[in-house]
Amino acid sequence: MATADQKQDVEMIEESTFQKPAETATSNVDPVAQKSLLRKLDFRMMPVFFVMYFLNHWDRNGLPQAKLNGITTHLDLKGTEYNTCISILYVGYLIAGIPSNMILTRVRPSIYLGVCMCGWAIVSGCTALSNNYIHLLMLRFLLGWFEAPFYPGAIYMLSRFYTKREVATRLAILYCGQLSSSAFSGLITAGIFASIDGRYGIHGWQWLFIIEGAATFGFALIAIFLLPDTPGKTSWMTPEENACSVLRMQEDSVNQLQHETPMQGFVSAIKDYKVWLFMLMQNMHFSAMSFNQFFPTLVKTLGYNNTITLVLTSPPYIFSALFSLALARSSGYFNDRTWHIVGGNLFAVVGFVLACATTGLAPRYAACFLFAAGSYSTGSIILGWASANVADSHEKKAVTLAMVNFSAVAANVYTAYLWPDSDSPRFIIGLGSSVGFSFVCLLIAIVAWCLFRRSNSKRLREASDDNVKLYAI
């Protein structure tokens, strides 16, 4: 039988999920150790992941930037061959992503992720040696293969160290690594093309890949020594901090953590409807972000030369980073995911519709700010939501986050063909599709809200004590 207080809690869930709830359970976590732990994580782990994601995305997006320097002409790419080279990266990504996170639960993450980073750095540098379509295609596939462990691995690592109310903001900071890369890599690339294009007989796009590979390899060696491993087993934490990192995550878990093998975690994940719900939501989210691979080309429709075009790609991404941090911060403060995801996607829809409606300079560039900010801002909240609500075991959580990322990456395979050059300058196919993707994403978030709210009401009614763990909504 539920107590009167528990019935009141049910009513509160039904009335509002937008209030900042009070803590109801007594915590055994040492507040001094927790403060020290969070400070170390925020100032040691987060900067490393930020830079890793910056370089990860810079290496991956080198090809769209290289297109502005004539790589398609130099390698004699015809028809959809360029689009296929964009798409094939994600095939390698899809093949390696889930197995990689299963491996991650059984090895030292600091070494594993660092070595994988060395691998994609070497492949990125070797792209400068491409001299035909086949060479470029093979190297792009290998780049996806070596890059695949990083993002789902980083998400899993953050979910191991941060609670469900902390993780969305940290994931947004991680996301800002990608956004910063999108913003500033264009400026870096513009400088490379303007200053050393043709030096020593090497094209600007070749210099771009050489510099990307060298920078990435150098930081990979640093990351190996700075990244943590797992809660309770990190060498640069004190015994009190290690103990705190374990206890606070146990208290934060929705369910009692089980011990499973990686394969048991995989089977458990594929049987859980919540995993498929988050996969579909993230797939729609990433489908709406397909403009990212073609953003320099999209901005070029404003009518400026290559250097100015690359410079103009930066401000929308800077705005997106700030907007994403603000939305994630608000999500954590109000302990809400659903309506922040709905709001972000509505913001994106307005931008996409405006971009479809006009090719005028001012309104179309303003639209770039709107759809970029709205699209990017919800990704970290979706991942944090999945991390919080699917936590039966570390193995299941690792597979779940890899599967959600798998669905996201899968979107990049088919959306690469929604932005053909023949559709320039309006790009109605890509922009119109993105409107639909964003709208479906917000609808799925509302469906998830209804399902989790109903499950929470049931848990409260059936609870035998006051210590009730509820799904995040």
Q: How confident is the model over 86-137, as pLDDT tens digits? A: 889 988 988 998 999 999 988 999 999 999 999 999 999 999 999 999 999 9
Residue 13 falls inside a structural domain = no
Determine the average pLDDT of the residues in 429-456. Answer: 95
Distances (CA, A) of 278 to 244, 316, 378, 444: 30, 27, 12, 9
3-state helix/strand/coil string of 405-432? HHHHHHHHHHHCCCCCHHHCCCCHHHHH
Q: Is residue 183 part of a domain?
A: yes
Percent with pLDDT over 90 in the chain: 53
- In the numeric block, the tokens 């039988």 are attached to 1
Region 267-274 average pLDDT: 92
Output the pLDDT for position 18. Answer: 42
Task: Tell me the pLDDT band of 13, cut-offs 50, 70 and 90.
Answer: very low
Handedness of CA 109, 112, 113, 115 (dihedral sign): positive
Instruction: Give the HSE-up count for residue 266: Cα atoms under 13 Å, Cβ half-sphere.
Output: 12
CA–CA distance, 119 with 111 (Å, rounded to integer): 12
CA end-to-end span of the chain, whole Å? Answer: 24
Q: Does the structure show a pLDDT above 50 at 434?
A: yes
Q: What would the mean pLDDT of 178-193 be, rounded to a whole number?
A: 86
Distances in Å between the Cα of 44 and the Cα atoms of 231, 240, 242 are 15, 18, 15
- pLDDT of 138 over the 90 cut: yes
Query: Looking at the domain assignment, is residue 55 inside a domain?
Result: yes
Residues 6 or more apart whose Cβ sits within 8 Å of residue 302? 309, 312, 361, 364, 365
Whether residue 12 lies inside any domain: the answer is no
DSSP string computed for 8-72: HHHHHHHH-S-S-PPP-S---S-HHHHHHHHHHIIIIIHHHHHHHHHHHHHHHTHHHHHHTTTHH
Identify the sign of the CA torsion 160, 161, 166, 172: negative
* Beta-carbon-side half-sphere exposure of residue 66 (alpha carbons within 13 Å): 29
Mapped onto helix, strand or coil, the DSSP state of residue 258 is strand
Continuous segment of H or E residues that includes residue 276:
helix 273-288
pLDDT of residue 421: 82
Residue 178 pLDDT level (bands cut at 50, 70, 90): confident
Token pair belonging to 441: 């994403």
pTM of the entire predicted model: 0.80
Cα separation, 96 vs 224, whole angstroms = 21
Q: Is residue 446 part of a domain?
A: yes
Least confident of 10-14, 140-144, 232-236, 262-266: 10-14
Percentage of residues in the chain with pLDDT exceeding 70? 92
- Tell whether 188 is covered by a domain: yes
Residue 14 has pLDDT above 50, yes or no: no
pLDDT value, residue 33: 86
Mean pLDDT across the chain, nearest whole number? 87
Whether residue 214 is predicted with pLDDT greater than 80 in this model: the reply is yes
Number of domains making up the chain: 1
Give residue 259's pLDDT. 66
Model confidence at 16: pLDDT above 60? no
Report phi then psi at 258, rounded to 5. -105, 165
Task: Answer yes or no: are the C-beta atoms of 154 and 170 closer than 8 Å.
Answer: no
230-248 burial, b for 16+ CB within 10 Å, e for fewer?
Answer: bbeebeebeeebbbbbebb
- Comparing 24-33, 73-82, 205-214, the range with the smallest average pLDDT is 24-33
pLDDT given at position 20: 44
Summarised one tens digit per residue, pLDDT across range 343-385 is: 999 999 999 999 999 888 889 999 999 999 999 999 989 998 9
CATH number of the structural domain spanning residue 158? 1.20.1250.20
Considering Cα of 282, then 184, then 219, then 46, what sign does the dihedral take? negative
Q: What is the pLDDT of residue 6?
A: 43
Q: How far apart are CA 303 and CA 51, in angstroms?
A: 32
Flag whether 26 is in a domain.
no
Residue 472 belongs to some domain of the structure: no
Q: What pLDDT score does 257 carry?
A: 57
pLDDT average, residue stretch 58-84: 89
Higher-confidence residue of 459 and 150: namely 150
Question: Which domain range does residue 279 map to?
Answer: 33-462
